[in-house]
Structure 1
């Protein structure tokens, strides 16, 4: 009789427990699933890393988290495409996208030190700032960032007097309204300015043959402010002794 009684109780309670369990699973899965696409074109010898940062959106003791997306270098112009969550659930914590940091990497040689980067970012907002581009009817917002190479003489002891470069990218970011972000596309293309410039203004003189680094009263191992009349110094590039950049010889 006791066995029959317990079986009867289980028969009554099981459908209810199953319903509660399914409801809980449904609630857990209700937050998240929203994504947007970040895509575009990269120049040859460039790569891109996107680091999406998330904060807790409910009464959970979780900390902020990050998801990283990265493309590879390629010797030819190439495309990248990342599908980035707008929100997701980690256990009981509801994680909501706060921003996406961008790291634009460029290389100008085959050595480790001949690689550098600049920063950009996608800022998640409740309302677009005035003048910021909005998503079109096709669900796309498109921008182009222009990256410039700035050259200088390296100050590192192991390669002092050798040409090194810094990267500067303008327009590498956008404001994105969080309420409109799901299933949208951010198309961010990167281009390279064909004109390279000295990092230190007034330390190189532009001639018909190219840029020449000045030396001055101190005659240091680095470029100095150009004097009148200008005096020039030699430098090294890819193992060669040079007098003008980028052609090396005049």
Structure 2
């Protein structure tokens, strides 16, 4: 025997009305909060890196047109920043992170103005044996005249070596520059201009390599011999390498692992 519900009953009618009101209010709340629930548009930054290198990013955001952003001091601020660090390398030699095109983290609506990359390379066994270089991308509001295609930038880092401190330990500094169409290092830094109208859901890629040859950080402070580079002792009497004199005189130095050496990188002649 089937039981039929009489919705004309007073108590049932109240329950039905309350249920309908709850559903309607919930739907209205979803509609009203639709903008806040929509995630900002992003693009993916991807970097192919050599061994012992990694790349992180800092996005610089400025107030959107018509917006006034107030900092903690109560004064308008011009730039807010978000930092991007890959949680885990995508592969052994590839890292990537998402970059939002807009940001509301600073209490106002702001838009991406530029992206700075920190290129970090490790050159020794300890955590302190790391050095950094940078690359920069600006965001243009001009309409791009080119079809939307994956944007690929190529760059190369070259290790420059020098000595530091009273024991003349070797340290290395990466010099990273853009590559031209022939694969040669240019004088300009890695980076370029990105068009905002092409960035949403796209991928910007950096292909980074490292030069096979290392060179002295200071020109004319080292002399290259058949056995390797030798640091000069000059007329200033300083602890580190000095401008070479004639005839050249040389100093010993230490490798990052503590070895006493006379030539770099072979250590002994």
TM bin, normalised by shorter chain, reads 0.7 to 0.9
Q: Residues 90 and 113 (structure 1 numbering): CA distance in 2 closer, same or farther, change over 3 Å?
A: closer
Q: Residues 38 and 145 (structure 1 numbering): CA distance in 2 closer, same or farther, change over 3 Å?
A: same
Q: 1:43 aligns with which of 37, 41, 50?
A: 50
Instruction: State the 1:104 CA deviation.
Output: 0.6
Larger radius of gyration: 2
Q: 1:197 aligns with which of 212, 215, 223?
A: 215
Q: CA RMSD in A?
A: 3.1
Instruction: Give the match for residue 206 of structure 1.
Output: 224
* Secondary structure at 1:179 match in 2: helix
* Secondary structure at 2:223 match in 1: strand
The range that moved more, 112-121 or 50-59, is 50-59
Instruction: State the 1:54 CA deviation.
Output: 1.6
Question: Whole-Å Cα distance in 1 between the matches of residues 50 and 87 of structure 2?
Answer: 12
Q: 1:224 aligns with which of 223, 242, 245?
A: 242
Q: 1:61 aligns with which of 69, 76, 98?
A: 69
Q: Residues 194 and 16 (structure 1 numbering): CA distance in 2 closer, same or farther, change over 3 Å?
A: same
The range that moved more, 170-179 or 185-194, is 170-179
Instruction: State the 1:73 CA deviation.
Output: 9.4
* Secondary structure at 2:220 match in 1: coil
* Secondary structure at 2:40 match in 1: coil
The range that moved more, 194-203 or 63-72, is 63-72
Instruction: State the 1:19 CA deviation.
Output: 8.7
The superposition leaves residues 121-142 of structure 1 with CA deviations (integer Å, 9 ceiling, x where unpaired) of 121112389xxxx8765x3011
Q: TM-score under structure 1 normalisation?
A: 0.79
Q: Is structure 2 residue 97 aligned with structure 1 residue 86?
A: no
Instruction: State the 1:206 CA deviation.
Output: 0.8
Instruction: Give the match for residue 153 of structure 2.
Output: 143
Instruction: State the 1:144 CA deviation.
Output: 1.3
Q: Which has the higher strand share?
A: 1
Contact 2:69 2:106 in 1 (8 A): no
Count residues in correspondence.
Answer: 230
Instruction: State the 1:87 CA deviation.
Output: 1.6
Question: Whole-Å Cα distance in 2 between the matches of residues 81 and 35 of structure 1?
Answer: 13
Question: Whole-Å Cα distance in 2 between the matches of residues 81 and 229 of structure 1?
Answer: 52
In structure 2, stretches of 5+ residues that fail to align are: 1-13, 72-78, 179-189
Instruction: Give the match for residue 112 of structure 1.
Output: 127
Q: 1:99 aligns with which of 109, 114, 118?
A: 114
Question: Whole-Å Cα distance in 2 between the matches of residues 72 and 228 of structure 1?
Answer: 53
Instruction: State the 1:85 CA deviation.
Output: 0.9
Q: Is structure 2 residue 195 aligned with structure 1 residue 177?
A: yes
Question: Whole-Å Cα distance in 2 between the matches of residues 219 and 92 of structure 1?
Answer: 57
Instruction: Give the match for residue 3 of structure 1.
Output: none
Q: 2:265 aligns with which of 234, 246, 250?
A: 246
